A and B are shown apart, each in its own frame.
Chain A
Amino acid sequence: DTEVTQTPKHLVMGMTNKKSLKCEQHMGHRAMYWYKQKAKKPPELMFVYSYEKLSINESVPSRFSPECPNSSLLNLHLHALQPEDSALYLCASSQDDGRSYYNEQFFGPGTRLTVL
């Protein structure tokens, strides 16, 4: 299984809603990532989990809250978002155990989020 799955595919939410994005991988990867991608822009790193611990938070506003319940799952909890947060949210995973030569990150299909 070389797939990263994300749910939901599309999400529309109001600024007062609370919602969660989910990501799952069963490749035994120890690093998992959340990226945000606006139209015609590159993916921007938000969070990195390494061995289920948050290792990097790229100055993301607190209205985004990541969670890694286990080595296969990654959640992104959303609360009080702004319209400018509308974007494609991508989850990725990689082996990156410090010994691997390759750097392939496997991306999920993304959740297209619209904040009204």
Chain B
Amino acid sequence: GQSLEQPSEVTAVEGAIVQINCTYQTSGFYGLSWYQQHDGGAPTFLSYNALDGLEETGRFSSFLSRSDSYGYLLLQELQMKDSASYFCAVKYSGAGSYQLTFGKGTKLSVIP
């Protein structure tokens, strides 16, 4: 089976930097994704790491260490609109297709 751990809540100040960690246990691991979900909205894709290292997309960066089964999402220059839930998700192969299993989510609150 798959299991992921991430903090349930994080609070940070507008303009600051915040890091959301994710550890996972899985078989057939292909990569680690990050999704953002605002209240009442659908999850939207932020980033994907299949290889060790850092991926940068604008204000968001994601890191993966496969040997440590660990990744993180880094959000810089926080804005109020970044207040949302952030899910890490492992991509793995099962029954002939790829699947995602999501972590429980981290609720990020950005305060002025």
Contacts and interface: CB of A to CB of B under 8 A. Distances in A.
Contacts of B98: 31, 94, 96, 103
Contacts of A109: 41-42
A90 interface: yes
Given A108-B42, A109-B42, A103 B100 contact: yes
A45 B103 CA distance: 12
Interface stretch (A48-56, A66-74, A77-85): A48-56
Contacts of B100: 45, 103, 105
A107 interface: yes
B104 A103 contact: no
Contacts of B45: 104-106
A2 B94 CA distance: 26
B38 to A, nearest CB: 11
| Chain A interface, >50% SS class | loop
Nearest to A4: B42
Given A42-B87, A42-B103, A42-B104, A107 B44 contact: yes
Contacts of A103: 30-31, 33, 48, 50, 91, 98, 100
A105 to B, nearest CB: 6
B42 A56 contact: no
A112 B69 CA distance: 34
Nearest to B87: A42
Interface in B67-98: 87, 91, 94-98
Contact of A107 (B31, B43, B97, B103): B43
B11 to A, nearest CB: 17
A41 B101 CA distance: 12
Contact of B43 (A43, A44, A48): A43
A56 B31 contact: no
Interface of B: 30-31, 33, 41-45, 48, 50, 87, 91, 94-105
Given A42-B87, A56-B99, A104-B45, 13 more contacts: A31-B97, A41-B104, A42-B102, A42-B105, A43-B87, A43-B102, A45-B100, A90-B42, A94-B98, A102-B48, A103-B91, A104-B48, A109-B42
